[in-house]
Amino acid sequence: MLGKQIIYFLISSILFIGALHAKIVTTDNDVAHQKMDLFDFIYKTEITDGLIAEVAEENILKLSHHLHEEHHRCGGFIVHDTLEEAKEFLKNSRSGELNKYFIDYSISNEDEVNTYLPMVAEKNINETITKLSSYHNRYYKAQTGIQSSEWIADHWSDIIANREDASVEIYRHERWPQPTIILTINGESDETIVIGGHADSIAGYFGGEHNKAPGADDNASGIATITEVIRVLVDGNFKPKKTLKFMAYSAEEVGLLGSKEIARLYNQNQEKVIGVLQLDMTLYHGSRNQDIILISDYTNQEQNAFLGNLIDKYLQLSWMYDRCGYACSDHASWTGNGFPASFPFEAKKNDMNRKIHTSNDTLEVARGVADHPVKFAKLALSYLIELDR
Ligand code: BES
Ligand code: ZN
């Protein structure tokens, strides 16, 4: 009898120690089918096009390498801290396509939107991209990664210097040194709208502190677009009814780490985030006949339709939907935590800037002119002003 218990104890100890060295990941089915051998264990879920698996720590790099070679992406899977978190993430990623509660997507602030849109200036966006891409890299563990994010905090603080209703927070993460920067303009209500993008950059297969990674398009362009939106709102003395938050996330390039932590915190604290807009890569106008591509997976259908209507009404530009095919940027962190998020992107997936994640991702990919981001700044402004009612 006792012998049986000892054996049982030994087996469960071995399984437990094994589990300590395994990582819980979520990914898409197409990936899983080709690389079954890298998964130690696959969990049964009701979701048919995504899955949760255990991957040994030493196989994580192999999986990443495979995705790079065969699927031309770096991530393609998300590492989670716990099984519970993974389940919640996968569930929300699929059901998050529709809203849980009513959000007013009507368009009725025409006069106000039309006074703000002409204020957007290419020159400012150009300057911010130039500044951010002058750092050797903005890697989440590098000194220049920390400094560049601190520069964003300083620059944003300068912009809001005369506003008593606004503040800039340097949000420190426990597990890595690059902070996330959060600018808040307080409204009358605690309903919140978030516009974000990642501040970090990366180059080379496995990144690294020493690689040169200007990341002009990916994603100095998104941060520069957001910065110009803030500048225009402040110069026009916009007083929001809802609370507006602008975020420069850290550590996106290594698995959406910064945004995942923040979206999870907002979920835990039951923050009333009624809309999230992600700006990641706005510089390269790669699709001849299209201006703005709305990413349709890991995003909210209703909010996406609203963005399409805003483009038609205020920008008179061409737009279409395309898929990323996986949780390719920080919008997925918000979707995974049950918030409505959208991701307007620079080009069709097939026409995107191929120089990202190399030392050649500079302003030269757009011949030194930041006119494509101007469209995204205008879209973000019309989104904010119309949703803020
Ligand atoms: N800017 C890219 C995301 C992107 C790439 C969007 C291609 C649309 C098309 C982002 O910074 C990135 O590189 N994401 C990783 C995944 C992430 C989970 C590490 C990627 O796409 O490999
Ligand atoms: Zn990237």
Examine the domain organization and report whether 51 and 195 are in the same domain: no
Closest CA to 300 of 270, 273, 271: 273
Q: Which domain CATH number covers 39?
A: 3.30.70
What is the pLDDT at residue 217? 98
What is the pLDDT at residue 10? 58
The answer for residues whose C-beta is within 8 angstroms of residue 44's C-beta and 6 or more apart is none
Examine the domain organization and report whether 196 and 320 are in the same domain: yes
173 is an active site residue: no
Show which of 46, 62, 94 is a domain's final residue: 94
What is the pLDDT at residue 220? 98
What is the pLDDT at residue 73? 57
Residue 251 φ/ψ, nearest 5 degrees: 55, 35
Residue with tokens 């898409």: 28
Test site for ligand 1: of 73, 256, 352, 376, most ligand atoms within 8 A of the Cβ: 73
Does some domain include residue 75? yes
How far apart CA 27 and CA 47 sit, in angstroms, is 11
How far apart CA 131 and CA 148 sit, in angstroms, is 9
Examine the domain organization and report whether 66 and 160 are in the same domain: no
357 is an active site residue: yes
349 lines ligand 1 (CB under 6 A): yes
Examine the domain organization and report whether 190 and 238 are in the same domain: yes
Look over the chain and give the mean of its residue pLDDT values, rounded to a whole number: 91
280 is an active site residue: yes
pLDDT in tens, 100-117: 789 999 999 999 999 999
Ranking 11-20, 92-101, 108-117, 225-234 by mean pLDDT, the lowest is 11-20
Ligand 1, atom 6, lies closest to the CA of: 328
Examine the domain organization and report whether 217 and 279 are in the same domain: yes
Q: Which residues, listed in sequence order, are joined to residue 161 by a DSSP beta bridge?
A: none
371 pLDDT more than 50: yes
In total, how many domains does the chain have?
2
Residue with tokens 């716990």: 82
Residue with tokens 């809309």: 275
Ligand nearest to the CA of 254: 1
Examine the domain organization and report whether 147 and 50 are in the same domain: no
How far apart CA 199 and CA 206 sit, in angstroms, is 18
Does some domain include residue 346? yes
Does some domain include residue 229? yes
Give the C-alpha distances (Å, rounded to integers) separating 149 from 138, 190, 201, 224, 225: 8, 27, 11, 12, 15
347 lines ligand 1 (CB under 6 A): no
Does some domain include residue 357? yes
Does some domain include residue 101? no
Percent of the chain with pLDDT over 90: 72
29 pLDDT more than 90: no
326 pLDDT more than 70: yes
Examine the domain organization and report whether 158 and 41 are in the same domain: no
pLDDT in tens, 119-162: 999 999 999 999 999 999 999 999 999 999 999 999 999 999 99
Q: Which domain CATH number covers 302?
A: 3.40.630.10
Does some domain include residue 102? no
71 pLDDT more than 60: no
Atom of ligand 1 nearest to the CA of 198: 11
What is the pLDDT at residue 134? 98
Residue 148 three-state SS: helix
Ligand nearest to the CA of 330: 1
168 pLDDT more than 60: yes
Residue 129 three-state SS: helix
What is the pLDDT at residue 5? 64
Examine the domain organization and report whether 131 and 25 are in the same domain: no
Sign of torsion, CA 83 88 89 90? positive
Examine the domain organization and report whether 219 and 297 are in the same domain: yes
293 lines ligand 1 (CB under 6 A): no
Is residue 224 within 8 A of residue 370, CB to CB? The reply is yes
154 is an active site residue: no
Examine the domain organization and report whether 29 and 123 are in the same domain: no
Show which of 70, 94, 118 is a domain's final residue: 94
Does some domain include residue 44? yes
Show which of 94, 125, 144 is a domain's final residue: 94
- Which of the residues 80, 136, 155, 198 is marked catalytic? 198
Test site for ligand 1: of 225, 253, 260, most ligand atoms within 8 A of the Cβ: 253
Structural domain containing residue 314: 110-387
Examine the domain organization and report whether 158 and 207 are in the same domain: yes
Examine the domain organization and report whether 195 and 309 are in the same domain: yes
What is the pLDDT at residue 198? 98
pLDDT in tens, 257-316: 999 999 999 999 999 999 999 999 999 999 999 999 999 999 999 999 999 999 999 999
pTM of the full predicted structure? 0.88
Does some domain include residue 225? yes
Residue 373 three-state SS: helix
Ligand nearest to the CA of 255: 1
CB atoms within 10 A of CB 162: 8
What is the pLDDT at residue 1? 46
